[in-house]
């Protein structure tokens, strides 16, 4: 995860140095990159801590619910936001004879 963060930061850094209109979007992208790594780190930590102490019984019901809730939320995000924008962009390209 640290390597991924370093690679993403290194790729974004030159664009952040330039004063442009898309700088705020790049900062948002960098923050989301850090947040994704933090959530993966928290999940990995939970997974490791769960197996370190075998005497403690974990209630897996809530872990399963959280796992599926996150996956359903991600699928909904893709279907409701990313897919319509891509379809609209493809339609615009076809309509303007750019494809």
Q: What are the CA-CA distances from residue 37 to residues 31, 84, 91 (Å)? A: 10, 27, 34
Write down the domain spans for the chain.
1-57, 59-99
pTM here is 0.53
Alpha helices in the chain (DSSP H): 2-17, 23-52, 60-77, 83-95
pLDDT at 72: 94
**28 token code pair:** 């948002």
Pull the structure tokens for residue 38.
Answer: 């933090």
**Looking at residues 2-24, what average pLDDT do you find?**
86
Whether the per-residue pLDDT at 50 is higher than 80: the answer is no
Instruction: Identify the pLDDT of residue 99.
Output: 55
Question: How confident is residue 39, by pLDDT bands cut at 50, 70 and 90?
Answer: confident
- Residue 54, pLDDT above cutoff 80: no
Would you say residue 20 has pLDDT above 70? yes
Average pLDDT over residues 56-73: 85
């Amino acid at each position: 995860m640290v390597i991924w963060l370093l690679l993403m930061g290194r790729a974004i850094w030159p664009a952040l140095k330039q004063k442009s209109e898309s700088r705020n979007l790049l900062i948002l992208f960098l923050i989301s990159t850090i947040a994704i790594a933090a959530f993966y780190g928290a999940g990995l930590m939970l997974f490791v801590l769960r197996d370190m102490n075998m005497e403690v019984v974990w209630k897996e019901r809530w872990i399963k619910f959280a796992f599926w809730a996150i996956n359903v939320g991600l699928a909904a995000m893709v279907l409701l936001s990313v897919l319509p924008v891509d379809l609209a962009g493809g339609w615009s390209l076809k309509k303007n004879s750019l494809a």
